[in-house]
Amino acid sequence: MFDWDDLRIFLGVARSRTLADAARQLELDATTVGRRLTRLGESLGANLFEQVGGTRRLTESGHALFRHAEAVESAALSAVAQVTGESQSLAGQVRLSVAEGFGTWVLAPAMREFHQSNPRIRLDLITASGFLNPSKREADMAVMLARPQRGRLVVQLLGDYRLHLYASEAYLASQGTPRRPADLRRHVLVGYIPELIYAPELDYLGEVLTGLEAVLRSTSINVQHQMISHGAGIGVLPDFIGDRDPGLVRILPDHVELTRDFWLVTHSDLANLSRVRAVAQWLRHRVQALQDQIKTG
């Protein structure tokens, strides 16, 4: 019988695609990772990876093993959770991946409250460019804009939010206020950098009016907001950003209104851990409050 622990290493490499990366995640040396992978392959008599350029891809055998290895992992994690009583305890670490705007404007202001309710949960708020993938275990949970199609995930709809065009009063005073969507072509637009967009749901301008292109661009919604707020131009912002900034005005609110959904994505293995449920509940409350606030405000 082969060493079951080698499956843990195998999973790491299969997910991160390089030995070095896997080694970091596993807190081992890349050499060790390589050697244990070789050992596993030998004892199974199968070639698990093919090296294409810098990265390793699973072979057919590798894919077959991967599914089973995930099952092993799942069982092992449940084992720890149950035996250590972790599944019942509101303690431990949760890594949550969110979009930058949501993290900055919705979650960050409420973190104090969360920590007071759950002092023993360490909540890491990750706003990497691109959502980290719970199915790759880069994060435990993620709030995403689209429902992921595959993976061992538990997905639930948190709610939706609206977006409008915003501009500062200073900008409108100097450049005038657009009356019709077509007027937008004559204005300075603020938006994302299309090549670096990490979710198709963020491609707002194309939806507002075909062919519309931003000239002031950033990968960061916060940078965009600051530009708009300081009178640089007109841009699409979520209401939970635009409405909070008293210096901003909605532009063409009757013509341009976008809606997006928030999806909460959790790895199946973790979905019934108390601490994960606590975070999920908090997220549902935050999004609920967000929607109530917009309605009444």
List alpha helices for 126-270, DSSP H.
169-175, 205-208, 221-229, 239-242
Is residue 157 a contact point for a copy of itself (CB under 8 A)? no
Q: Around Cβ 53, how many Cβ atoms within 10 Å?
A: 6
Angle ∠(181,218,215) on CA atoms, nearest 5: 45
CB 226 within 8 A of CB 243: no
Q: Around Cβ 54, how many Cβ atoms within 10 Å?
A: 8
Do strands 153-168 and 234-238 pair parallel, antiparallel, or not at all (unpaired)? antiparallel
Q: Which is nearer to a copy of itself, 79 or 173 (by Cβ)?
A: 79
Minimum CB separation of residue 9 from DNA in Å reads 8
Q: Quick one: how far is CA 102 from the chain centroid?
A: 10
* Stretch binding a copy of itself (CB under 8 A), from 42-50, 147-155, 181-189, 257-265: 42-50
For a copy of itself, which residue of 31, 32, 38, 82 counts as binding (CB under 8 A)?
82
Partner that binds at residue 128, options a copy of itself, DNA, none, CB closer than 5 to 8 Å by kind: none
Is residue 91 a contact point for a copy of itself (CB under 8 A)? no
For a copy of itself, which residue of 76, 258, 271, 294 counts as binding (CB under 8 A)?
76
Is residue 15 a contact point for a copy of itself (CB under 8 A)? no
Is residue 65 a contact point for a copy of itself (CB under 8 A)? yes
CB 205 within 8 A of CB 234: no
**CA torsion 267→270→271→276, rounded to 10°?**
-110
Minimum CB separation of residue 262 from a copy of itself in Å reads 31
* Stretch binding a copy of itself (CB under 8 A), from 59-67, 97-105, 166-174, 227-235: 59-67
Task: Name the amino acid, one letter, at 224.
Answer: Q
Is residue 289 a contact point for a copy of itself (CB under 8 A)? no
Q: Site residues (CB under 8 A) for a copy of itself?
A: 1-8, 44-46, 61, 64-65, 68-69, 71-72, 74-76, 78-80, 82-84
